[in-house]
A and B are shown apart, each in its own frame.
Chain A
Amino acid sequence: MAEPLLRVEKLVRRFGGIVATDHVSLDVAAGELHAIIGPNGAGKTTLISQLTGHLAPHAGSVSLAGRDITYLPAYRRCALGLARSFQITSLLLDFTAADNVALAAQAHAGTSFRFFANARKEKALRDAAHAALDRVGLAHRADVLVSKLSHGERRQIELAVALASKPKLLLLDEPMAGLGVTESQGMVRLLQELRKEVSIVLVEHDMPAVFALADRISVLVYGRVIASGDPDAIRANEDVKRAYLGEAHVVTRHG
């Protein structure tokens, strides 16, 4: 088997006495959409933060395309092709949508130690920003301040920002959080498009969305991966049913 795009091996992270990430191992193949699910407090965001470099693991390793990135700072990982969206929207509120996305493009287009030329007139950056905004269907809102955009629109900008850095791997931390039903459906359609272009790790609570999108699913409970496999295997897995009974109900009701 070829080298996986992302390989996580025996990752451990403790907070005091609590083991939030307990020897987690998982592989994400190139082109795959890998979903990570689990009940609240299962350690999903902790795991994502270690993948992006916002949190250092206590043991284990993370490698991207064969390169060990376990202790690289966030900005270096980003340069290697790892982009993330935040569970709680994290954007530059006093900047326009286009500026937010153009900055992400700028981070990957040469040095930013340029002090004199007007960056907003750099056509390549503006075009990249527009393309990414267009991709998420927000081209018409390009010149609006992010603080004036709706929650749903901000979630889409998060995606556009991640896309503008032309990542190999996209880490999406609950992209549907707080979205209404129609907005969620729009997001699912969008992710279905995006997965053709980029590998995705998706952390999500919205079970119908996860089962519709994922190639593979890993189930995290109390910091441990209790099962990993395609959606059908996960649906049939007894351990998952037991650990996840509450939300299994939700699946049957909505799905």
Chain B
Amino acid sequence: MKGLSVSKAVTALMLAGLVLLPLYSYLSGNIFILTLFTRIVILALAAASLNLIMGFGGMMSFGHAAYLGIGGYAVGMLAQEGVGSGFIQFPVALAASAIYALVIGALSLRTRGVYFIMITLAFAQMAYYVASGLARYGGDDGLTVYKRSDFSGLINLSNRTQFYYLCLACLFGVIFLIWRIVNSRFGLVVQGLRSNEQRMQAIGFPAKRYQLVCFVISGTMCGLAGALLANNTDFVSPAVMYWTRSGDLMVMVILGGMGTLFGPVMGAVVYLLLEEFLSQITEYWALIMGPLLLLIVLFGRGGIMGLLGRIGRG
């Protein structure tokens, strides 16, 4: 029980920090930290969505960054064509991600294990090359978003603080949804399938249908992160879909703790802060980051959340 409370305390502390961050940024005059944390919150949202299929569903998708690109390009392309309203851009971003997830999921879920990892990776790389070939939308160089999504005065995305809180609200909203889903009938079936597919089939659950729906929910959530990311950087390029970005998301999930509600958020915060911090010290920051991650994964089974649980138990 005490182990639970340690990880809970750290989680609560982290969440409080995220909520109060703009205040700190305002008081200290440090604008950079707000920009940095906006990016962290958005990628935490992407990691949380990946965790739904990877941690809870046992589906190791190695192509999750594709949704970041699809959501981002939906915003960027519509903006370029003169459709600046967020009320159109965001639903289109979500719908495009959902459709992509439906098609890719239907094909990928015919396979299992390593093949599933490889096929999701292959599709994401295809999306990457398709985006590179979009000459009208910048091709390789990417696409500048000259004007952020317009929500008719409801909220101003160009205001750093407002935009940060929008991203944070999206993150909390998605985590709330995941929490409900995981404990619902649907969520129990999906987790049951992760645990023992043969048994679930034998008691009467068609595996693929449930996994596909879960795959689509996860992809749609990540599409939201993509739409936010394009607004944050005022730019979208094929690079956001590159496989290393998918790998980053996986690392965040594993680092924080697969199959835990707040693990991916923790993972995103720690991973991106480390990256930021180490890259300031040395150009070869990856040389330190790599072994560090290795240690955490080797000795902290269950990621940071698992580690905190064990510290609590002593």
* Inter-chain contacts of B282 with A (CB < 8 A): none
Q: Which of B185, B191, B199, B201 contacts A91 (CB 8 A)?
A: B199
The answer to whether B206 touches A73 (Cβ under 8 A) is yes
Q: Which of A74, A111, A116 contacts B202 (CB 8 A)?
A: A74
* Inter-chain contacts of A106 with B (CB < 8 A): 185, 188-189
CA distance A78 to B202 in the complex (A): 7
Please tell me which stretch of B124-132, B138-146, B163-171, B176-184 contacts chain A, meaning at least 4 of its Cβ atoms lie within 8 angstroms of it: B176-184
CA distance A119 to B183 in the complex (A): 6
Cβ of B196 under 8 Å from chain A: yes
CA distance A106 to B185 in the complex (A): 8
Take A116-B180, A118-B183 as given contacts and tell me if A78 and B204 are in contact as well, using a CB distance cutoff of 8 Å: yes
Taking Cβ atoms with an 8 Å cutoff, the residues of A that contact B are: 52, 54, 73-75, 78-79, 83-84, 86, 90-95, 99, 103-104, 106-108, 111-120, 122, 161, 165
Q: List 13 A-B residue pairs with CB atoms under 8 Å apart, sorted by A's residue number.
A: A75-B204, A75-B206, A79-B204, A90-B198, A90-B199, A107-B203, A107-B204, A113-B186, A115-B180, A116-B184, A118-B183, A161-B199, A165-B203
Cβ of B187 under 8 Å from chain A: yes
CA distance A52 to B184 in the complex (A): 28
* Inter-chain contacts of A118 with B (CB < 8 A): 180, 183-184
Take A93-B196, A103-B192 as given contacts and tell me if A74 and B201 are in contact as well, using a CB distance cutoff of 8 Å: yes
The answer to whether A78 touches B203 (Cβ under 8 A) is yes
Cβ of B123 under 8 Å from chain A: no
Interface residues of B in 188-228 (CB under 8 A from A): 188-189, 191-192, 195-196, 198-206, 210, 213
The answer to whether A95 touches B198 (Cβ under 8 A) is no
CA distance A112 to B188 in the complex (A): 9
CA distance A24 to B201 in the complex (A): 25
* Inter-chain contacts of A122 with B (CB < 8 A): 185
Between B191, B202, B213, the greatest number of chain A beta carbons within 10 A of the residue's beta carbon is seen for B202
* Inter-chain contacts of B206 with A (CB < 8 A): 73, 75
With both beta carbons as reference points, the residue of chain A lying nearest to B209 in the complex is identified as A113
CA distance A112 to B204 in the complex (A): 11
Q: Which of B186, B191, B195, B205 contacts A115 (CB 8 A)?
A: B186
Q: With both chains docked as a complex, state the minimum distance between the C-beta of A77 and any C-beta of chain B, in angstroms.
A: 8
Q: With both chains docked as a complex, state the minimum distance between the C-beta of A69 and any C-beta of chain B, in angstroms.
A: 13
Take A92-B195, A93-B195, A106-B185 as given contacts and tell me if A112 and B202 are in contact as well, using a CB distance cutoff of 8 Å: no
With both beta carbons as reference points, the residue of chain B lying nearest to A121 in the complex is identified as B183
The answer to whether A103 touches B196 (Cβ under 8 A) is no
Q: With both chains docked as a complex, state the minimum distance between the C-beta of A110 and any C-beta of chain B, in angstroms.
A: 9
With both beta carbons as reference points, the residue of chain B lying nearest to A113 in the complex is identified as B186
CA distance A165 to B195 in the complex (A): 19
CA distance A157 to B195 in the complex (A): 16
* Inter-chain contacts of B199 with A (CB < 8 A): 86, 90-92, 161
* Inter-chain contacts of A103 with B (CB < 8 A): 188-189, 192, 200, 203
Q: With both chains docked as a complex, state the minimum distance between the C-beta of A142 and any C-beta of chain B, in angstroms.
A: 16
The answer to whether B195 touches A95 (Cβ under 8 A) is yes
Q: 8 closest A-B pairs (Cβ-Cβ)? A: A78-B204, A107-B204, A92-B195, A119-B185, A104-B203, A114-B185, A112-B185, A74-B201
Take A94-B195, A119-B185, A119-B187 as given contacts and tell me if A113 and B213 are in contact as well, using a CB distance cutoff of 8 Å: yes
The answer to whether A52 touches B185 (Cβ under 8 A) is no
